[in-house]
Amino acid sequence: MEEKKSFFASLDSKSALLVGLVAGVLVICTVGFVVMLGVYFKGGFTSTKKDLAGAPSVAQVADNGQQQQAPTPVVPKADKPKVELFVMAYCPYGLQMEKAYLPAWDLLKDKADIDVKFVSYAMHGLKEVEENTRQYCIEQQQPAKYRDYLKCFTGKDDSAGCLASTGISAGSLTSCVNATNKKFGILDKFNDQTTWLSGRYPVYPINADLNDKYGVQGSPTLVINGVQAEGVGRTAEAVKQAICASFNNAPAECQQTLPNTAYQPSFGYTVSASGGTNAAACGT
């Protein structure tokens, strides 16, 4: 009996070549598929730099969109949080933060204990020492008008015009300024350079005890329930979120959304390109 021929032996040369090519393609595809599965399950597909030429990275895509909000700082909670912003009156970055602070203050003024205090030294001369004391007295004597004054002053460096537009009594203010200068020896210390910080900056003693207690070193410094709230963006919404996170039970006001736009450092309400993440400060 004639032996049966193998499959390949029974084919003519052209058919055998065609079958071989098909088999080779199948082997290559199978190997490629297995390799791709291995790469995928190991952690994702990878590409060379040449393959990605001209394609934006994940970071670039994020930068082209709206900037992400900084994480809300972790601070102690309270039924009625105590919120203190330490500034120097003429610090550009303190002014920037105050413009973010004021809308949150307006929103939560009846729910939290919110105010402005002063860094224990000045970096911008006698005008800053005098403006610090002026603002301290306005807040002490006429707190309801202080926010209006501060809104005016952060918009333009015109204390006299802001006093007039907000209807603050000049007579009682002058009396308070004189009494405060005497009580804390503010002008005496300014005129005695031997008392200055590092021989360069006049000390400003009104809130010196709180500066020491909280470790305040520059302007602006935000303190919530006795702890520095670091990394808070300089937008009204970021400040609101930081304060709202410090309530044991956040009030309904915290559901309101405030503007998430930052303004440029110093005076005026020009929008900042930094998105409110500028961490620069006035300090030693």
Per-residue pLDDT at 23 exceeds 80: no
pLDDT tier at 37 (50, 70, 90 boundaries)?
Answer: very low
* Element spanning 218, H or E: strand 218-219
Distance CA 108, CA 114 (A): 8
pTM of the shown model:
0.75
* Alpha helices in the chain, H assignment, sequence order: 13-43, 58-64, 92-108, 125-141, 143-155, 159-166, 170-184, 186-191, 208-214, 236-244
Give the pLDDT confidence score for residue 154 in this predicted structure. 98
Q: Which of 13-17, 181-185, 275-279 has the lowest average pLDDT?
A: 13-17
Hey, what are 158's tokens?
A: 């015109």
Q: Which of 54, 39, 124, 115 is nearest to 84 (CA)?
A: 115
Residue 79 belongs to what H/E stretch? none
Least confident of 63-77, 156-170, 172-186, 266-280: 63-77
Encoding tokens for residue 61?
């895509």
**Structural domains in the chain, sorted by start:** 82-278 (3.40.30.10)
Query: Residue 5 to residues 10, 13, 68: CA-CA distances in angstroms?
Result: 6, 15, 73
Q: Which residues contact 183 (CB under 8 A, 6 or more apart)?
A: none
- Distance between CA atoms of 49 and 180, rounded to whole angstroms? 66
Q: What is the pairing mode between strands 113-118 and 82-87?
A: parallel
Span 254-275, mean pLDDT?
92
User: For residue 276, what pLDDT is reported?
Assistant: 64
Q: Are 243 and 107 in contact (CB under 8 A)?
A: no
Using DSSP bridges, classify how beta strands 221-224 and 282-283 pair: parallel, antiparallel or unpaired. unpaired
Give the phi and the psi of residue 219 in degrees, each rounded to 5.
-115, 125
pLDDT tens digit string along 88-141?
Answer: 999 999 999 999 999 999 999 999 999 999 999 999 999 999 999 999 999 999
Residues β-bridged to residue 193: none
